[in-house]
Amino acid sequence: MAERTFNIVCGHYGCGKSNYAVNLALKMAKEGRKVMLVDLDLVNPYFLSSGCTKLLEDNGIRVIAPMFANTNVETPALPAELNLMFETDMDVVLDVGGDDAGAVVLGRYASQLANIEYEMTYVVNKYRNLTATVEDTVQIVREIEAASRCKATKVVNNSHLKQETTWSTIKDAIEYGDAVAKELGLPLEEITVPSFIYKDEQAVNEMNSMDRKFTSVEIHVKAPWEYT
């Protein structure tokens, strides 16, 4: 078994970072790795990775989330249990709150993070407010880096429109993702594609013809009113 990994997932509100974090944790667990998901998104009360706790735990993933993660507490005292992410031998997936406001919480652990090797994935979505342009998207990550005192190491293009996503939605955002990565001087790790798009044979054929890494994701994280 390879050495454990420490994966920080950040991004603008509504970009789908929590859903990406859940998919990443599940993928790692299916590969036979021991995984801990830490939900540090204390800002958005609706789209939380810890909202998928049962699904995650059913797949052998340990979930740690502050009790106040879905409250309006502005300056919470973080529980000691969160320090387990630095003491465990498990792979860690850390879901950070959107923008600089959420990243301030991560900044409290800057000294511990300085002593370990981590990957910090910046999840971007062309179809979200305030990140429709490359310039705005780059500005957001700079604010996150300043607040968290951590540096992004790669970009994931997660441009989508939830259930209204089509293959054209994905294709039309490819250039945007490339431009963001280039401007940041970071590698574009992958382009996420909702799993239902793979039912479109033409879409699959086009993906296979491109020199790109497309990754299928399930939509697990939803607002309470989206569950049926």
Question: pLDDT per residue over 61-79, tens digit each?
Answer: 999 987 654 444 444 556 7
Q: Dmax of the chain from CA atoms?
A: 51
Q: Provide the edge-to-edge strand list for the sheet that holds 188-194.
A: 62-64, 35-40, 91-96, 6-11, 119-124, 154-157, 188-194, 214-217
Looking at per-residue pLDDT, the higher value among 166 and 104 belongs to 166
pLDDT at 5: 96
Residue 39 three-state SS: strand
Residue 209: pLDDT over 90 = yes
Distance CA 172, CA 126 (A): 9
Residue 191: pLDDT over 90 = yes
pLDDT at 125: 97
Distance CA 97, CA 9 (A): 9
pLDDT band at 46 (very low <50, low <70, confident <90, very high): very low
Provide the percentage of residues in the chain whose pLDDT is more than 90.
71
pLDDT at 81: 84
Calculate mean pLDDT across residues 182-195.
98
Residue 144 three-state SS: helix
Contact 190, 213 (CB under 8 A): yes
Segment 120-179, tens digit of pLDDT? 999 999 999 889 999 999 999 999 999 999 999 999 999 999 889 999 999 999 999 999
Query: 203: closest CA among 211, 193, 190, 213?
Result: 193
Query: 1: closest CA among 41, 33, 43, 48?
Result: 33
